[in-house]
Amino acid sequence: MNLENVLSQGGSNALPAKEKMLGEDGHVPLATSSCSKQLVQAYHTCQEAGALPASQKVVQHRWAEVTLFQFVYSMINTGMGLCVLPQEADRLNSGAGSLWVGIYLAVCGAAQLICPLAGKFSDRHASSWGRRRPFIATGSILSIIALFFLRQASIEGWPMTYLFALLVAQISLNLAFSAHNGLPADLYSDGGGSPKDTQERDTAGVVSAFVAMHTFLGSLFAVLIIIATHEMPVHVQYTCYMAATAVACTVVCQAANEESTLHAENAEPITAAEVCGSFTLDPSAHEDFLWVCIGRLFYYVSTSVTVFLYYYLRDNLQIDDEAELRIKLASLMIAAQVVGATISVPAGRSSNVFGRKPVIYLACSIMSVTFLLYIWAPLVPGDLRWHLVLSAGLCYGLGSGIYVSVDYALALDCLPQGKTTAEAFGLWGVAGFCGCTAGPVVSGLLLAANQVSTEKHMHTVVSHYAYTGYVVVMLLVGVSMNIFVVGATHMIKGTK
C-alpha cells in the first residue's frame, strides 16, 4: 500500500483530501491548529499500513542512552550504601559503626535538597547546549573531583574530610541527576510535563522501564565491583565510580541532542519566593503528586534495610571472615539485581495495560514477603539459613524491579500544574532520599539499642546486634512501610 492510497482511504481519521495535506512542492506542510490532530492521525495510519517506516527500535535505543545516567547514579549509591559506607564507618569511627552509617546516609539525604532548586534553574537555563546538559556535565565533573577527595580521605584516615567530601559528592551528583530527570519529558513532549495522549503515556511507560533497567544494572555493576575488589582496600571502588561517571556523562550528553535555548525567551530571574516554593506542594492543587511523593518516601524507607545486610549476614549467619562476608553479600545482591533488571521492562510495559496502581500493589506485597523471609531465616538450621536468605534476595529483586519500573511513569502521570518538570522531579527525588535517610537513621538507632557485644577486628572495633533488633527493623521499617505505600498509592485519583 502506498502513501496516496492510505491518504485516500483514511476515512474520518485522515484529512478530507490529500490535496490538503500535500503542498505544491509535494511535501507535507506544517500543521495548523485546526488540522494538527488529523495530520498526526493520518501519519500513524500511514505508518501502520507500512507506507512509512516504523521508528520504535531507534526510539528505544535512544531512550536507553538518554537514561544512562540513572545507571551510574544507582551504581554509586548502591555501592556506597551496601559496602563502602558501612566499612568506612567502622574504619574511621571505631565502635560506633551503625550510628555513623546513619549519619553518612543522612548527609546523602540532605544533599537531595539541591534537586528542586537545580531543577528550576535547569528549566530556565539558556545555552547552546540546551537546558539540561550543562547541569549534567557540571555535576559530573564536580562529582569526580569529590570522589577523588573521598578516596584520599579513606587512604589517610581523615574522618571529617571524608564527611565533607561525601556531602560535596552527593550535592554534585544530585545536581546532574535533577537535570537528567527532566530530559525524557523534554524530548518526548513539546514543553515537557505530563503525557498528553495515549502515545506519550505509552512512551512514559517505556522510559520508566529503561530507568528501572538502568537502576538495577547499576546496582548489579556495583556488586560486581565489590566482588572484583573483595581482597583490595575499599578505596579502590572510588576510582571505579569516577570512571563510570565520566562515561555516563559523555553518552547522555551526546544522545540527548538538545536544541540551543539561547534564542528562547526566558522568564524573569528566580525570586526568593520561587526558591521557597520549589520545596513545597499545595495539598489541594497537587494532591495526586503529593501522594506519589509520600508513597515513594515510604517505599525507600523500607528499602534502606538493605544498608544493614552487611551486619545482618555477619550476625545471623555467623560469618567472621571479611572476604567471605563480601562474597555472600555480593552474591545476594547479584541475585536480586539480575531478577530486578530482567523484570523491569516487562513490568513497565504491563503498567500501560493494567494500570500503574495495581502493579505498585503487587510490588509491595512481594517486598513484604521479602522482609518476613529475612526474619524467618535465622530460625532455620545450618545451611538452610543461607538458602532462605538467598530466596529473600530473589523476592526483593522481583518486588523492587516491579516497583521501580512504574515509579517514574506514575510520577509523570501526576506531574503538578504550575511546576516545571525538573523542579517537580526534584521534589520527587527528595521524597525518595528522605526515605533513604530516615530509614537508616531509625534502623541504626533500633540496632544500637539491641547491641549485645563489641570486639576488636583487625584495626577496628566491631559491634554485634541481637536477633530481636533485626526483627524489629524488618517489621517496622520493612513490612509496615510497604503497607503505607499501598495506602498512599490508593489515594491517587488521576491515574488508574
What is the DSSP annotation of 423-487?
Answer: HHHHHHHHHHHHHHHHHHHHHHHHHHTTEEEEEEETTEEEEEE-HHHHHHHIIIIIIHHHHHHHH
For residue 62 the three cell numbers come to 535512544
d(CA 238, CA 159): 16
Set of cell numbers at residue 414 = 501526576
Question: Residue 312 burial (CB < 10 Å; 0-12/13-18/19+)?
Answer: buried
What was the pLDDT predicted at 197? Answer: 52
- Cα–Cα distance for residue pair 227/334, rounded to 1 Å: 10
Distances from the Cα of 29 to the Cα of 20, 24, 188, 351, angstroms: 9, 10, 21, 36
H/E element holding 104? helix 97-111
Give the rounded distance of the alpha carbon of 473 from its chain centre: 23
For residue 428, give the nearest of 130, 105, 119, 215 by alpha carbon. Answer: 119
pLDDT, position 18: 38
The boundaries of every CATH 1.20.1250.20 domain in the chain are 56-261+279-490
* Distance separating alpha carbons of residues 110 and 167, to the nearest angstrom: 8
Residue matched to cell numbers 520549589: 278
**Entry pTM:** 0.67
Residue 60 pLDDT: 62
* DSSP assignment letter at 165: H
Which three three-digit cell numbers place residue 409?
Answer: 511513569
Task: Kindly calculate the radius of gyration of the chain based on its CA atoms and give it in whole angstroms.
Answer: 24
User: Which residues fall within 8 angstroms of residue 177, CB to CB, at 6 or more apart?
Assistant: 69, 73, 115, 139, 429
pLDDT at 432: 81
Distance CA 245, CA 325 (A): 28
What is the per-residue pLDDT for 476?
Answer: 93
* The pLDDT value given to residue 198: 62
Among 399, 379, 387, CA closest to 332: 387
Q: Looking at residue 47, what is its pLDDT?
A: 44
Among left, alpha and beta (phi > 0; psi -120 to 50; other), residue 257 is left
Q: How far is CA 198 from CA 192, 202, 361, in A?
A: 15, 6, 23
Q: How far is CA 215 from the centre of its chain?
A: 6
Tens-level pLDDT at each residue, the chain (496 residues): 444 443 344 444 444 443 443 444 344 443 344 444 454 454 445 444 444 444 343 366 677 778 888 899 989 988 887 778 888 887 787 766 667 877 887 888 788 778 777 777 777 777 777 778 888 889 999 999 999 999 999 888 888 899 999 999 999 998 888 888 777 766 665 555 555 556 666 666 777 778 878 888 888 888 888 888 877 888 889 999 999 999 999 988 888 777 777 776 555 667 677 777 767 777 777 888 889 999 999 998 998 888 788 888 888 887 777 778 878 887 888 888 889 888 887 887 888 788 889 999 999 999 999 999 999 999 988 778 899 999 999 999 999 989 988 887 888 888 887 777 777 777 887 788 788 778 888 888 888 888 887 676 555 667 778 899 999 999 999 999 999 999 999 988 877 7
Q: What's the pLDDT score for residue 375?
A: 94
Q: Is 458 left (phi over 0), alpha (psi -120 to 50) or beta?
A: left
Q: Which helix (H) or strand (E) holds 89?
A: helix 85-92
**How are the residues of the chain apportioned to helix, strand and coil, as percentages rounded to the nearest 5?**
75, 5, 25
pLDDT at 230: 73
Cell numbers 566499612: residue? 87
Residue 14: the pLDDT is: 42
| 3-class secondary structure, 456 | strand
Residue 170 CB burial class (10 angstroms; 0-12, 13-18, ≥19) = buried
3-state helix/strand/coil string of 292-357: HHHHHHHHHHHHHHHHHHHHHHHHHCCCCCHHHHHHHHHHHHHHHHHHHHHHHHHHHHHHHHHCHH
| CA distance to 62, 209, 337, 405, 414, per residue, from 213 (Å) | 14, 6, 9, 8, 22
- pLDDT value, residue 216: 81
Residues 6+ apart with CB under 8 A from 132: 122, 179, 180, 182, 183, 186, 256, 258, 422
Q: Which residue has the cell 535517610?
A: 437
First to last CA, the chain: 38
| Segments of 96-185 assigned E as strands | none
**216 class by beta-carbon count within 10 Å (0-12 exposed, 13-18 middle, 19+ buried):** buried
Quick one: angle between helices 97-111 and 421-448, nearest 10? 170
How many other C-beta atoms are found inside a 10 Å radius of the C-beta of residue 50?
A: 11
Distance CA 235, CA 310 (A): 18
CATH of 56-261+279-490, one of 3.40.50.300, 1.20.1250.20, 1.10.3080.10, 1.20.1630.10: 1.20.1250.20
